[in-house]
Amino acid sequence: MRLEEVLSQLSEPDVASNPERFRKLMKEQSDLTPIVDAYKEYKQNQQNIEESLALLDEESDEDLRELAKEELNDSKTRIEELEEKLKILLLPKDPNDDKNVIVEIRAGAGGDEAALFAAEIYRMYVHYAEGRRWKVETMECEEIGIGGMKSVTFMVTGQGAYSVMKYESGVHRVQRVPETESGGRIHTSTISVAVMPEAEEVEVEIDEKDIRIDVMRASGNGGQCVNTTDSAVRLTHYPSGIVVYSQTEKSQLQNKAKAFALLRAKLYDIECQKAHDAEAEARRSQIGTGDRSEKIRTYNFPQGRVTDHRIGLTLYKLDKIMNGDIQEIIDGCIAADQAAKLLKMNEEG
């Protein structure tokens, strides 16, 4: 069995001195263990069914027969559950699922109100990530004076961050009375969220001849995202036309590293989008991980309501959600995504 081979290799002395090989084996062990455990339980329940049937054939004592029937029914129910669990465990995995992510939030329609909402959604994700003990690092931020953000880009570092955060890509809509609105009319504003897997240098080759690097003083209204040193870095990638900017660190070297990480993620994301487009049907079967222009969620403040339009889920706990309690929505998206993939697999099978 492959899991036994992996465990055996992990115990070899030379593996510990090779961090890359050790990491790959640990990852494989982590992926295989739940499949093997579920399969062992499945086989055990099959054996329980055979033993219960044999007991019913041979036994005349009514009490023992009742126990055997109970055991038989329990094992049959559990086998059905395990079959579904194994189907999900054996679904093809997104190769990016275990990666860290770079999240880009941009204010859309709604002016200052959209920028204020962008800042609130940023804080929502920071709270969510902190609750999962993930690390959040701001890479780029353009603030407005009243506490809003025209745009903010940040990295989330944590095991399986992309597998969870990818469902947040799309247009988020807010409906509320702005603080600046004296008439008390409800306004609708939008922001867009893009979630990109972090790309390793080996995954994206960037030719230095294709890059222009500009160094300048950080600019903005001050606050948590801006320094006043001559350390801001702007990269222009000629082939794609992508421009990235980093000014959150005091060191020019650190800002340069962040800017290159962001550029790699954007270029890798473009390649991923092309692959999605080439497999249009597969993309349509996924729950909101493809189309960036898709309106995925509405936050209605007067009613304290949040609705995820992809899965038809409405929750009346807006305050908790804005404070980072978004796991129920994400779990719903994951379940719907798995159900869509299982349906597609059954149709193909």
| 101-339 CATH choice from 3.40.630.30, 3.40.50.1980, 3.30.70.1660, 3.90.320.10 | 3.30.70.1660
Domain ranges of the chain: 2-89, 101-339
* Ranges of residues in the chain whose predicted pLDDT is under 50: 222-224, 227, 282-283, 285-286, 288-290
Q: Which residue's structure tokens are 């994951």?
A: 334
DSSP string computed for 120-137: HHHHHHHHHHHHTT-EEE
Taking a C-beta distance cutoff of 8 angstroms, is the pair 42, 83 a contact?
yes
β-pairing verdict for 135-143 and 170-176: unpaired
Count how many Cα atoms sit within 13 Å of the Cα of residue 334 in the half-sphere of its side chain.
Answer: 17
CA 234 to chain centre: 27
Checking 6-12 for CB contacts under 8 A at 24+ apart, the result is 6/32
Closest by CA to 298, choosing from 318, 269, 280, is: 318
Length reported for the chain: 349
What is the Cα–Cα distance from 3 to 25, expressed in whole angstroms?
10
What is the Cα–Cα distance from 246 to 40, expressed in whole angstroms?
51
What is the Rg, in whole angstroms, of the alpha carbon atoms belonging to the chain?
Answer: 25
What is the Cα–Cα distance from 338 to 89, expressed in whole angstroms?
10
Taking a C-beta distance cutoff of 8 angstroms, is the pair 154, 139 a contact?
yes
What does the buried/exposed string (b/e) look like for 151-166 if buried means 16 or more CB atoms within 10 Å of the residue's CB?
bbbbbbebeebbbbbb
Q: Which pLDDT value is given to residue 103?
A: 93
What is the Cα–Cα distance from 130 to 289, expressed in whole angstroms?
23
**Partners of 265 in beta bridges:** none
Q: Which pLDDT value is given to residue 292?
A: 56
What is the Cα–Cα distance from 187 to 177, expressed in whole angstroms?
6
Please name the amino acid found at residue 101: V
Please name the amino acid found at residue 169: S
Q: Classify burial at 257, counting beta carbons within 10 Å of its beta carbon; exposed 0-12, middle 13-18, buried 19 or more.
A: middle
What is the Cα–Cα distance from 252 to 110, expressed in whole angstroms?
34
Q: Which pLDDT value is given to residue 251?
A: 79
Q: Which pLDDT value is given to residue 317?
A: 95
Q: Which pLDDT value is given to residue 162?
A: 93
What is the Cα–Cα distance from 94 to 99, expressed in whole angstroms?
10
Taking a C-beta distance cutoff of 8 angstroms, is the pair 82, 38 a contact?
yes
Q: Which two tokens stand for residue 201?
A: 């240098």
Phi-psi region of 344 (alpha: psi -120 to 50; beta: other; left: phi over 0): alpha
Q: How many CB atoms lie within 10 A of CB 341?
A: 18
